[in-house]
Amino acid sequence: MLTVRFGCSGCAFRTVKMKHCYYNESVGFFYNNSRKELTSYWRTKDVLVVALGLTVSVIVLLTNLLVISAIIINRRFHYPIYYLLGNLAAADLFAGIAYMFLMFHTGPRTAGLSVRTWFIRQSLLDTSLTASVVNLLAIAVERHQTVFTMQLHSSMSNQRVVILIICIWVTALLLGLIPSYGWHCLCDLGNCSRMAPLYSRSYLTFWALSNLVIFLIMVVVYTHIFVYVKRKMTRMSKHTSFHPRYKETMINLIKTVIIILSAFVICWTPGQVLLLLDGLACESCNVLAVEKYVLLLAEINSLINAIVYSYRDNEMRSTFRKILCFICYRNPKYSPASVKSNVTKRRILSQNGHSTMDSSL
């Protein structure tokens, strides 16, 4: 903090305090300021974290590439829910790339990063993870709409889906780039975070609370779906006209909802709570002890997303087999005619007039 005194002949002096910014300092300077350890050699813990992180990143990249390819190839996936799933896969693919970039620029390599490279590293992570979370919320709202109207696919137009996807990425980019363009602590060292030493604690608090609000909305939406489906099953089971396939579909939907909520809470909540504690300057909380593991846990959710939202869909699994096994293309059972027949068979009208949904999404 610099103090400058302004005055003139016969005038009283006026004191103005000016903040000093540390734009030209090294990353190590900010790590020392936040008392975050910065090693110059590879420890066993660092090697294990990087090895595990790179393994998870590669799996995330491959699985989400498979999902995107399947949605592009199969025309039966050209519906709003699958466009959102494809966008979720793209966000998770981006998260895998961002996490891989982090693994190549962590440990002893962190000390050699420039301030700009450090901000790029963090912005990639923040943008990709935010896009994934906001996309999950969009899918939850879309599923809520289709379940309550008893439709297989949303009536949302392609134009609206495109606008929604653009809004998701604009939101993610804004939240990811804000620290690089001002919401940092380079001019206020006393407000620096411990987990992200160049970030302002106020930004971490804002980011964590924003995500926790999204989590809460998702929990409310999926809980509403769960309660509705369970009540629907109870009412329908009292009628002799209740179709067994409809019951099976409802049970699958309940299972999917439980898996989604469980995976989401387990993978995301620890990291957001940790960020919030750091943002609130909790001195007694040892946030640095587990930060790498909660970040890895959040990245694992990008893998779980592909499994829960895609691999539980029969048509999606069939398309995966086509992509992974070239011999299947010559197999008659994968011909377009047979696929169309199978899809037609899966759409069954129960005697009460409602259509059942084979998709457990």
Residue 139 has pLDDT above 70, yes or no: yes
Residue 219 has pLDDT above 60, yes or no: yes
Kindly report, residue by residue over 141-160, the tens digit of the pLDDT: 888 888 777 666 667 788 88
Contact at 8 Å (CB) between 300 and 56? yes
- pLDDT, average across residues 277-303: 86
pLDDT at position 5 = 55
Q: Among 229-233, 265-269, 287-291, whose mean pLDDT is lowest? A: 229-233
Look at residue 256 in the predicted model and tell me its pLDDT. Answer: 72
Longest dimension (CA), the chain: 100
In this model, does residue 76 exceed pLDDT 80? yes
Reply yes or no on whether the pLDDT at 330 is more than 80: no
Q: What is the pLDDT of residues 305-324, one digit of tens each?
A: 888 877 777 788 888 888 88
Q: Is the pLDDT assigned to residue 238 strictly greater than 90?
A: no
Give the per-residue SS3 of the chain.
Answer: CEEEEECCCCCCCEEEEECCCCCCCCHHHHHHHCCCCCCCCCCHHHHHHHHHHHHHHHHHHHHHHHHHHHHHHCHHHCCHHHHHHHHHHHHHHHHHHHHHHHHCCCHHHHHHCCHHHHHHHHHHHHHHHHHHHHHHHHHHHHHHHHHHCCCCCCCCCHHHHHHHHHHHHHHHHHHHHCHHHCCECCCCHHHECCCCCCEEHHHHHHHHHHHHHHHHHHHHHHHHHHHHHHHHHHHHHCCCCCCHHHHHHHHHHHHHHHHHHHHHHHHHHHHHHHHHHHHCCCCCCCHHHCHHHHHHHHHHHHHHHHHHHHHCCHHHHHHHHHHHCHHHHHCHHHCHHHHHHHHHHHCCECCCCCECCCCCC
The whole-angstrom separation of Cα 74 and Cα 161 is: 18
Residue 11's pLDDT is 55
The residues spanned by each domain of the chain are 2-346
Confidence at 12, pLDDT banded by 50, 70, 90: low
Mean pLDDT of 241-246: 61
Write the pLDDT tens digit of every residue in 335-350.
444 444 444 444 444 4
How confident is the model over 274-293, as a mean pLDDT?
87
Place of tokens 């299947």: 328
Per the listing, tokens 């992509």 go with: 323
Looking at residue 170, its pLDDT comes to 95
Give the model confidence (pLDDT) of 47-58 as tens digits: 998 999 999 999
Q: CATH says 2-346 is which class?
A: mainly alpha
Contact 92, 132 (CB under 8 A): yes
The pLDDT score that the predictor gives to residue 351 is 40
| Closest to 139 in 3D by CA, of 96, 195, 76, 89 | 89
**Average pLDDT across the chain, whole number:** 80
Q: What is the pLDDT of residue 347?
A: 44
φ, ψ at 355 (rounded to 5°): -85, 140
Q: Which residue has the higher pLDDT, 265 or 202?
A: 202
**Could you tell me the pTM of the whole model?**
0.80
- Helices 291-306 and 44-73, axial angle in degrees (round to 10): 20
User: pLDDT tier at 358 (50, 70, 90 boundaries)?
Assistant: very low
Give me the mean pLDDT over the 76-83 stretch.
86
User: 7 falls in which pLDDT band (50, 70, 90)?
Assistant: low
Question: Taking CA 255 as the corner, what is the angle to CA 134 and CA 130, rounded to the nearest 5 degrees?
Answer: 10
Distance CA(256)–CA(14), nearest Å, equals 66
* Number of Cβ within a 10 Å radius of residue 212: 16
| The amino acid at 21 | C
User: What confidence tier does 17 reach under pLDDT thresholds 50, 70, 90?
Assistant: low
Instruction: Average the pLDDT over 17-37 and give the result.
Output: 84
